[in-house]
Amino acid sequence: MRQKIIYVSSIILSFFVGIVGTLLVFHFVPLKVETVEKTVKDVTITETNTISEAVDKIYNAVVLIQSYKNNNLISTGTGFVYKKDDNAGYVMTNNHVIDGATSVKIITIEGKTVDATILGGDQYSDIAVLSINKDEVLGVAEIGSTRDAKVGDTLFTVGSPLGSEYMGTVTKGILSGKDRTVTVTVNNANFMMEVLQTDAAINPGNSGGPLANINGQVIGVNSMKLVKDEVEGMGFAIPIELAMTSAEHLEKGEEIKHPVIGLELADVDNTYLLYTNKIMLDKDFEKGVVVAGVTAGLPAEAAGFKKGDVILSIDGTEITNLAHFRYVLYKYSIGDTIKVTYYRDGDIKQIDVKLTKTLEDE
């Protein structure tokens, strides 16, 4: 019993000692309260890789083009205003966008539909020029140059892929290649064009739209896309220098005349065509074109070309095939004289040919 009393007394004594100790601590030790402050600041993120300012420079100049034949819509594409004067605004696009059209309408970036007049088009350069009322012009694109452009430079396009639903679409890429040549079909004949290559997305409806540099200057006119299952990201544009040369004539209603030499030609490796024309070459050629026929009254006849001649070069430019021959020839103008190197009967010969006729004269 005595031990139990001692145990209870110890517990009670400990309880009171704890209370007294706690009171003494609160009384003699100052209570320190730590205040935590939280500062919230507004953070502004600066985008260093944006092209928005460049896009703004050209955006209002871009238009959607709708081509009609007998009031039926036959094609759509993109164009851009490249010039404005006291009379009109001038819109550049691809010739294939308006080819066969009896009337054309454009839709501005604000959605307004405007009647346009076809001033002219050229199928070989694939450039066409339209005019609209100058009061309908929302912006004029600045024309740049490909001269200082370098592979790897940032480029972008503005266009209307798949029509009006996606009008004003911007795609970005780089300059993938300069001085490329691609083969296209014009009037059922192969023809080579000099183009810029880019990996910026170019889809149906983008044709005729601007390819611009990081400064918002137009350096090319989108013309086609290489469409193959195994190839992606290869778009092509006509260099702006070539496009402007054509546009300067077309906006005045002038027809662009391309020279013709007056030869029926075949590739050196086209054995079927050579056989059907009864042409037997006495040696193998990796490059060049073979004369399969000479048209009377044209420059080639006057120069003395004969069936079976193999044309090797023009003014020192080696000819690879028929498409390349046309590409080189069409760089010349009516009245120019070219030096043609060719093979005949085991000998290499040269002859001057004066281009006095054009395709449009035929």
Positions marked catalytic = 96, 126, 207
Contact 263, 295 (CB under 8 A): yes
**Distant-in-sequence contacts of 176-180, Cβ < 8 A, 24+ apart:** 176/151, 176/233, 176/234, 177/151, 178/146, 178/149, 178/151, 180/236
Query: Which amino acid type is present at position 313?
Result: S
Question: Tokens representing 296?
Answer: 């009377």
- What are the φ/ψ torsions at residue 56 (nearest 5 degrees)? -60, -35
**Cβ proximity of 206 and 93 under 8 Å:** no
* Cα-based angle 264, 337, 254 (whole degrees, multiple of 5): 80
Measured in whole angstroms, how far is the alpha carbon of residue 13 from the centre of its chain? 95
**Cβ atoms within 10 Å, residue 69:** 12
Three-state SS at 242: helix
- d(CA 124, CA 18) in angstroms, rounded, equals 104
